[in-house]
A = this chain, B = another copy of it.
């Protein structure tokens, strides 16, 4: 890269670099109006853009934040990134994106790379037991905010989450009150903390109604393929189910595909409920009943907390928990 510099402008204008610098930095009281205008005109014509890296080296602020997430092609994360980037842009921050595929080593490598570039802070959607990565962040005093993916052991760090357990309890209650009893639950991978929280909600609610049976719990990855694989197992085990509660919407989409292919009528033969409320859940037919997380609000909040911390503000409330909401649509 070979950006336009003040030297280039000075040559073009036939003045000294010092004169250009005074005009660009608005310390131009001693410069004639004619020269000032000429310099500004040339700078515009040449598309001069001041370099902020030298400043970032002295201020130790890069104006850039990083986001660590499992996979941007999962709509939950792309919607979250959109919210964060919208907020960051308004505060004049840029966002570097890092896909980890829930791979802890890849996470750590990214975090080291981001720190080496003097990133101002990190929004962290962990792929599992990310303790080593967090130690590196803390040792280097890099501000970070955990989002969506709570990690055990970091109760005193900044975080934005939703009330996962209560969300599932609300969903089971709704299914129970509609007369469903044989309710399968497809949990997420066990090393992800939110999988456990959602599962706890299911177990508590089912026990509360006296209809808990361990055999109704299946496991899958938090994606379409995870829902497909789990649902094939489920329908080979049981023929008389009332409902399936998937731990996220992407799983539910995969599950619905298998059920429709096997001539199940939804919701007549079986009710389906998801978790997240990604956009696509209301595009498919029938539209998916789900537990809504306020994804956009969570992303915006995470970004504003991070930038407050970067700016040295003291926040009294370190962790923010958003309520979920039951969204009733066509699959129940």
Contacts and interface: CB of A to CB of B under 8 A. Distances in A.
Contacts of A52: 116-117
A279 interface: yes
Given A139-B4, A253-B283, A117 B53 contact: yes
Given A95-B97, A96-B95, A116 B50 contact: yes
Chain A binding surface SS class: mixed
Interface in A250-271: 253-254, 256-257, 260-261
Given A78-B73, A283-B254, A117 B94 contact: yes
A257 B279 contact: no
- Which of A46, A71, A94 has the largest number of chain B CB atoms within 10 A? A94
Interface string A103-125: 00000001011111111110000
A3 interface: yes
A60 to B, nearest CB: 6
Nearest to A117: B52
Interface stretch (A79-87, A156-164, A238-246, A316-324): A79-87
B49 A116 contact: yes
A63 interface: yes
B94 A96 contact: yes
- 5 closest residue pairs by CB, A with B: A47-B139, A2-B141, A47-B136, A78-B78, A52-B116
Interface of A: 1-4, 46-47, 49-54, 56-57, 60-64, 66, 71-73, 75, 78-79, 81-82, 85-86, 89, 92, 94-99, 110, 112-121, 135-136, 139-143, 224, 253-254, 256-257, 260-261, 279-280, 283-285, 310
